[in-house]
Amino acid sequence: MSNSAIAGSVSGPPKNRAQPNKHRQKTEATRLALLESARRVFASQGFEASRIEDIAAATGHTRGAFYAHFSTKEDLFFALLEQETSRRVTQIRTAMESHEDPELRLQALRSFYVNLIADPQWVMLMLEFRLFALRHPKLRAQLAGTHRRIRSSLKLEVIDELLPARLRASRESEELRKVALDVILNGLVLEHAYDAERISEKQVVSLLGRLFDVLIQTKQTDGTPPR
């Protein structure tokens, strides 16, 4: 066998293996670009008013590229939701796991929650999407169900396991506390965005911290909830 034939037989397979990898990288880069574009377009135009063409054009692509990755605009939003939620869960776990003391882990969680005021855009996007779901009753159950499945897939209970044992409660009680904290955050961020003279960012931060303490009972007590 000639040297060129040997070289060809050795160098051929790696090139063949590299091609699909490059394709996957390009495909993933396009998907991530569409997600980032969607976040900006949704924030500036609102979810319902946003057009698929605008989201794709902002990345230098066409509608065809959009539909190669997402079936609908709702499908894109849920991908964005999953990406953002996963990112936040990772941030929370990293902050909490940096402490061995469960009480310090709780304080890390509190700080993360209070600092969510720094990203009002995401809060507004979630409110916008919920309003969209309410305006489309036929889709509402499907959208809410998909949202629940995303939360379930991320195994958020691992965060609860990092908290002090005294805060362990039934699954129903834990879920109610999370819902209450979510509603409080949404309401305060919305009110601040609407009328910052009525409630300042500093006041929002203070209220978020105080209400977190009440709902989570951050201070050890004799069983009586904090006042």
Q: How far is CA 131 from CA 35, 40, 140, 162, 213, in A?
A: 21, 18, 10, 34, 29
Q: What is the pTM of this model?
A: 0.76
Domain ranges of the chain: 1-70, 72-227
Q: Tell which residue, 142, 38, 147, 150, has the closest CA to residue 89.
A: 150
19 burial via Cβ count (<10 Å: 0-12, 13-18, 19+): exposed
CATH number of 1-70, picked from 1.25.40.10, 3.40.50.10140, 3.20.20.70, 1.10.357.10: 1.10.357.10
Residues of the chain with pLDDT under 70: 1-20, 154, 156, 169, 218-227
For residue 150, what pLDDT is reported? 81
Separation between Cα atoms, residue 45 and residue 221, nearest integer Å: 48
Instruction: Note every long-range contact of 207-210, with CB atoms under 8 Å and residues 24 or more positions apart, other chains counting.
Output: 208/113, 208/114, 208/116, 208/117, 208/184, 209/110, 209/114
Residue 109 pLDDT: 93
Q: What is the pLDDT of residues 73-91, one digit of tens each?
A: 999 999 998 899 889 889 9
- Of 121, 109, 97, 88, nearest to 193 by C-alpha is 121
Question: What pLDDT does 185 receive?
Answer: 95
Hey, do 1-70 and 72-227 end up sharing a CATH topology, with the first three levels equal?
yes
Tally Cβ neighbours within 10 Å of residue 148: 10
Q: Tell me: the pLDDT tens digits for 92-107?
A: 999 999 999 999 999 9
Residue in the structure block whose two tokens are 């305006």: 135
Which architecture characterizes domain 72-227 according to CATH? Orthogonal Bundle (1.10)
Say which DSSP state 117 is in.
G
pLDDT digits (tens, 9 = 90+) for 14-44: 555 555 588 788 889 999 999 999 999 998 8
| pLDDT value for 153 | 74
Give the span between the Cα atoms of 88 and 82, in whole angstroms: 10
